[in-house]
Amino acid sequence: MDESGFAIGAIEASKVVIDTHVTQAPTYHQAQPGRQEWVTAVECICADGSFLPPCIIFKAENFCHSWVPANTPKDWAISNNSQGWTSNQHDADWLRKCFEPLMREKVNGRWRLLICDGHDSHISADWLTHCFENKIIPALLVPHSSHLTQPLDIGIFGPLKKVLSQKLAPLLLTQVRRLQKPEWFSAFIEAHHSVFNSRNIRNSFSGAGLVPFNPEKVLRRVPPPTPPPVSVSDFHSTLPTTPTTPFCNAILTSSPLDGNATYKANAVVIELMASGGPLNTPARNYIACMARRNNRLQARTAILEQRVEEATKVLTGRKERASGKRHGIKGKNIMTVKELELVTEAELATKQRKWKRSNMETVSSNNVMGSSSNTVASINSALAPVFVEGGVIISFEDNGN
C-alpha cells in the first residue's frame, strides 16, 4: 500500500502532434490553472493482480456530498481533513475498515504481508498493534528506495497521473480559472478504471523484483559508489583549454533566456553576416535555436482565440450544481459512498418533516384565536433527537403527538 498526492488544477507536461503546415500555430503550449488544492489517494494492490477500493482524502474542514459524482463506485472510501494529507488516524482507520476485513475474507484467516514505506502513520502504535493482532506482517521498505521497490510507484502511480492529465486536458485547454472538485474526481475515477487492471499490477510486482522474486532487477539499478573527490589543483590541471565563443550550449538551453548573453550572441551573428563570410557551426546552431524560439512565441499568440472559443463552450455548458449541505463527519474519518447516500436521504426526510411542522404550526396559530384552551401546545410533545449513522446529521421529530 502507498499514498499518492494530486494537485487539483495541475497536470503533467505532454506533447501533441500537429500539422507543421499550419502557418499561424506551428506549436501549442498548454496552460494550467495552477495548483489549487491537495488530494490524497490511499491505494493497495495485490500480487495476484487484484486491488482494494481506494480511499480519497479531500482538503476541507467539512465534507460536501455534492463533490461525489454519479460514476463513483459504491465501495470507495472518502474522507477529508484541513490539509488533504494522510494522517495517523486516517491510515489506522483505513487499515481497520478497508484492508483488514476485505483481505481477511480473501486469505481465509491466514497471515498477510503488507508492504509499505516508513511513513510515521505506518509505524504508529495503533497501526502496529492492529497488524500483530490480526495476522498482518508489516514490511517497511528501505528509506529512499520506494522508486525501486514499491510496486505502486513503479507501474501504477506514474501511468495513473498521465491518464488523469489526458482526461483533464480538454477541460484545462479552455483556460478555466478554477477546476471544481466534482470535475477532478470524475476524471480521476475514469483514469483509475483505465490503469488499475491485472496486467499493470502484475507487471508492477515483477518490476520491483518481488513476484517472481528477482532482486537483481533492483540491484542493477542502484548507482555505483561515488569515486573519491579530486583536489582543486588536480582538477584545474586536467581541464582542456578551449577558445571562448558566445554560442555556447548554456545560451541554447537556458530557460528563461539570459538577456545579456543573447544580446552579445546576436551582435556576433550580425557581424558575421555583414562580413559575407561563411557561418561556422555554432553560429548556425544558434540561428536555428532562435528561429524555433520565435515560432513558440508566435504560437502562444495564435492559440488565444481558439482557447477563448473552447472556454466559452465549456463555461456555458456547465450546469449549476446543487451546493449540497456541508456536514462535519463526527466520529468518522472515512465514509463510503453508501453512507453518503444515507446522509442525502436523511436530509430529504428532515426537510419534509420541517415542511409538515411549519404547516401544522400555521393551522395551530389560526385555532388559537378561537379557543383559549389551545393557546399552549402540549408539553409532552417534546422534541426527540434522531441521529443518522456516523453522527453526521442531527434532526428532530415529534414524539407521536
pLDDT tens sequence across 229-281 = 766 555 555 555 555 667 776 666 666 667 777 778 878 878 888 888 787 77
142 and 264 inside one domain: no
**Residue 326 falls inside a structural domain:** no
Burial label, 160 (beta-carbon count in 10 A; 0-12, 13-18, 19+): buried
Query: Strands 55-59 and 77-81: what pairing?
Result: parallel
Q: Dump pLDDT digits (tens) for 281-320.
A: 778 887 888 787 778 778 877 887 788 788 777 777 665 5
Most confident of 5-19, 113-127, 193-207, 311-325: 193-207
pLDDT at residue number 22: 53
Residues 176 and 92 reside in one and the same domain: yes
Q: Is 171 helix (H, G, I), strand (E, B) or coil?
A: helix
Q: Give me the pLDDT at residue 401, please.
A: 40
Residue 343: inside a domain, yes or no?
yes
Most confidently modeled range among 39-48, 179-188, 315-324, 388-397: 39-48
Do residues 124 and 48 share a domain?
yes
Share of the chain above pLDDT 70, in %: 72
Residues paired with 7 in a beta bridge: 38
- Residue 378's contacts (CB-CB under 8 Å, 6 or more residues apart) are 401
Q: What angle do CA 394, 398, 399 make, to 5 degrees?
A: 110
* Banded model confidence at residue 373, pLDDT cuts 50, 70, 90: very low
Whole-angstrom distance, CA of residue 316 vs CA of residue 66:
20
User: How high does pLDDT run on average in the chain?
Assistant: 78
Last residue of a domain, one of 188, 219, 250: 219
Do 190 and 279 have their domain in common?
A: no
**Residue 170, domain extent:** 2-219
- State how far the Cα of 164 lies from the Cα of 152, in Å rounded to an integer: 16
pLDDT value of position 346: 78
> Are 33 and 140 contained in the same domain?
yes
Q: Are residues 36 and 182 in the same domain?
A: yes
Q: Cell 582538477 identifies what position?
A: 235
Domain boundary among 219, 243, 274: 219
CB atoms within 10 A of CB 271: 10
Percentage of the chain modeled with pLDDT above 90: 30
pLDDT at 38 over 60: yes
- As for how many domains the chain has, the answer is 3
**In terms of domains, do 267 and 393 share one?**
no
pTM of the complete model: 0.60
Task: Give the model's pLDDT for residue 55.
Answer: 95
The gap from C-alpha 129 to its chain's centroid, in whole angstroms, comes to 30
Q: Give yes or no for residue 399 having a pLDDT over 50.
A: no
Give the residues across from 63 on adjacent strands.
Answer: 327
| Pair 99, 167 in one domain | yes
Using pLDDT thresholds of 50, 70 and 90, give the confidence band for residue 390. very low
